[in-house]
Structure formats: structure tokens, C-alpha cells
Amino acid sequence: MERQRYSTNTVYEGRVGYSRAIRVGPHVHVAGTLGMGPDGRPPDGAYAQCVAAFERISGALEAVGASVEDVVRTRMYVVDVERHQEDVGRAHQEWCGHVRPASTMLGVSAFVDPAFVVEIEVEAIVDEA
């Protein structure tokens, strides 16, 4: 089965060897995605970082022929879940609450750059009918 890959050409994609998104048949997997502003830095706050991450994820989904409507699972990795869960949940609800995918929010200790507080993965299944 053919693999369709999408890359945003970040330094980590090349250094680590992964794609931002990959589609195999109807299955789409979007790699852990940080919310970044145009300057590559995170916006202030968990909510703004989630919104930026979901914008990047939307672009990756579109690049491989999918959309938020096709999303079946989300995973949100959050530094200090107790502090950020409301903001992360609100951004998630706004982006895909109407789709109601299976979802997991996990607490993590830190990311490579401590300015980031959330990273999001998405899985989708495209109706090929």
C-alpha cells in the first residue's frame, strides 16, 4: 500500500527521521505537533499553543487529503495538567468537539524547549467512498 508523506521541513523531521503526517490508505497519522508562531516560538499560554498546534495539524491533514471531520483520535501531552487542562480542553472542544474523537490528555514532565507546554497527536480515517 502506498504511503503519502507530508513534511513541514522542520530541523527535527530531518534529524530524527519522521514526517509531520503520513497517510496509508484511509489511515492518517499526524506526528506530535507543537504550537508555534510564525517566528517558530510558542505563543503565550496553553490555550494559544493548542490553537496554533491545531492550525498546523489542520494543514497537515489537508496536505494528505483529510480534514478535522475525519479525526478519530487525539492525544494531548501537557506539562502541568492540573494548571493547563481547562485551556487545553477548551481549545480541543473548539477545534474538534463537534467530531467527538476518542481523546487522551497525558501529563509529561517537559519538552525539549521548556517554553512549550503542550504537544498534540492526531489520527484520522478518511472515508474513501
The model's pLDDT over 40-84, given as tens digits with 9 standing for 90+, comes to: 899 999 999 999 999 999 999 999 999 999 999 999 999 999 999
Domain 3-125 fold is 60s Ribosomal Protein L30; Chain: A; (3.30.1330)
H or E segment and range at residue 82: helix 81-96
Q: Please state, in angstroms and rounded to a whole number, the distance separating the CA atoms of residues 50 and 46.
A: 6
Task: Indicate the pTM of the whole model.
Answer: 0.94
Residue 77 burial (CB count, 10 A): 20
Q: Please state, in angstroms and rounded to a whole number, the distance separating the CA atoms of residues 10 and 101.
A: 27
Q: What is the pLDDT of residue 8?
A: 87
Delimit the domains of the chain by residue range. Answer: 3-125
pLDDT band at 129 (very low <50, low <70, confident <90, very high): low
> What cell was used for 120?
498534540
